[in-house]
Each structure stands twice: as C-alpha cells, then as structure tokens.
C-alpha cells in the first residue's frame, strides 16, 4: 500500500510539473517581452568559456558579427533547427561571423548530446546565470549582434521563418558594414 501511495504522489508531481501555472506562463511571456526590447541595445558584456576551452570575451569580438543561439539538449525546437543552423555556419562561418551557442546544460550532458547530433556552433556549456541575466527563458532564443556590439535582431522560438530571418540579418550586416 505504501508503494502505491508513493507511485500516486510521484505521478501527481510529474503531472503538476508538466502543466505550467498561469503565473509561470505570465513570467515567461514577460521575459520574452524584455528580451525583445533588447533590440537596438548593446549586447551585455561577457566572458564565456567554450566547450573546447576557448574563452570568448565580448570586447575581443567587437568588429565581428555574432549569432548567439541559446539552446539546451532536451529542447525539441532547438534540435529541429540544428541542421539548418549548421548550414548557416558552413555558409557564413568566417573571420567575420562568430556563432556562439550558450546552454545551461553541463559539459557532460553536452558531450553526450553532441555524440548523437552535430551542432557546429561554438558551444558554451554551464552558463545558467548568463541565460538568466539575459532573461532567456524560452528556447531557442537567437540574438544577431552587429560589429559594434548592438543587438540587430532577436528571434524567440523556432518556426519555418526563423532560419530565413536570421540569414537575412546576416546578409544585411555582412553587406552593409
């Protein structure tokens, strides 16, 4: 009987986790608005360590276009867009464009994930605080940052229009700057 009660409690806990509360939904929507308002603002300064040990400093990346993709390994939409994101790296990856992929996942989780699915961005694991600092609570979230460090575009979520919109922004920045 005790096992049955434990199973019922655990089941109810999981179903409660699966259904966000109205307050949680409101908080995520407010966070999305805050992130969208960042367009036209300087991207916050950062110093992040990549999966391969490379240190990325915002000051050292000035003069380059940045495409920053916040993601995590269990995010269905993030996974769906990865083949197209990899194509963008292949097409636009150069000394002029840096593709960064911050995630709150730890290094072990990311390494396991990458064994199954290639992701050609510069992966930045273990940056939960950075995600929260930027109010990123919906995934994927993309920032296109110009050579002066100003946010040109913010795209939250994934749709059939996401990749085209990001490509258009990259082409514009690479042509006009």
With a cut of 90, say whether residue 16 has pLDDT above it: no
For 39-176, which CATH class?
alpha beta
* This prediction's pTM: 0.81
Element (H, E) at 47: strand 47-49
Look at residue 18 in the predicted model and tell me its pLDDT: 58
As given in the structure block, the two tokens for residue 99 are 């593709």
Reported confidence tier of residue 26, pLDDT bands at 50, 70, 90: low
Distance in angstroms (rounded) separating the CA atoms of residues 115 and 131: 24
Higher pLDDT, 21 or 130: 130
Judge contact between 71 and 140, C-beta under 8 A. Answer: yes
- pLDDT tens string 103-115: 999 999 999 999 9
What is the DSSP annotation of 22-43? HHHHHHHHHHHHHHHTTTTSBP
CA distances from 162 to 70, 84, 123, 155, 166 (A): 14, 10, 20, 7, 6
Average pLDDT for the chain: 86
With a cut of 70, say whether residue 99 has pLDDT above it: yes
Look at residue 76 in the predicted model and tell me its pLDDT: 95
- pLDDT tens string 118-177: 999 999 999 999 999 998 989 999 999 999 999 999 999 998 899 999 999 999 999 854
- pLDDT tens string 57-96: 999 999 999 999 999 999 999 999 999 999 999 999 888 9
As given in the structure block, the two tokens for residue 158 are 């994934």
Ranges of each domain in the chain: 39-176
Higher pLDDT, 7 or 131: 131
Judge contact between 143 and 130, C-beta under 8 A. Answer: no
């Amino acid at each position: 009987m005790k096992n049955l009660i434990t199973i019922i409690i655990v089941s109810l806990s999981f179903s409660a986790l699966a259904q966000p509360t109205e307050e949680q939904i409101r908080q995520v929507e407010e966070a999305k608005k805050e992130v969208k308002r960042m367009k036209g603002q300087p991207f916050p300064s950062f110093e992040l360590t990549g999966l391969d040990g490379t240190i990325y400093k915002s000051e050292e990346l000035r003069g380059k276009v940045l495409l920053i993709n916040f993601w995590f390994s269990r995010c269905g939409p993030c996974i769906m867009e990865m083949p197209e994101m990899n194509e963008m790296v292949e097409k636009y990856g150069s000394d002029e464009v840096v593709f960064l992929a911050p995630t709150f996942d730890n290094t072990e989780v990311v390494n396991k994930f990458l064994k199954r699915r290639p992701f050609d961005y510069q992966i930045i694991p273990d940056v939960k605080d950075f995600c929260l600092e930027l109010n990123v609570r919906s995934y994927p979230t993309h920032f296109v940052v110009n050579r002066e460090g100003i946010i040109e575009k913010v795209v939250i979520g994934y749709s059939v229009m996401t990749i085209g919109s990001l490509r258009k922004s990259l082409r514009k920045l690479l042509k006009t700057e």
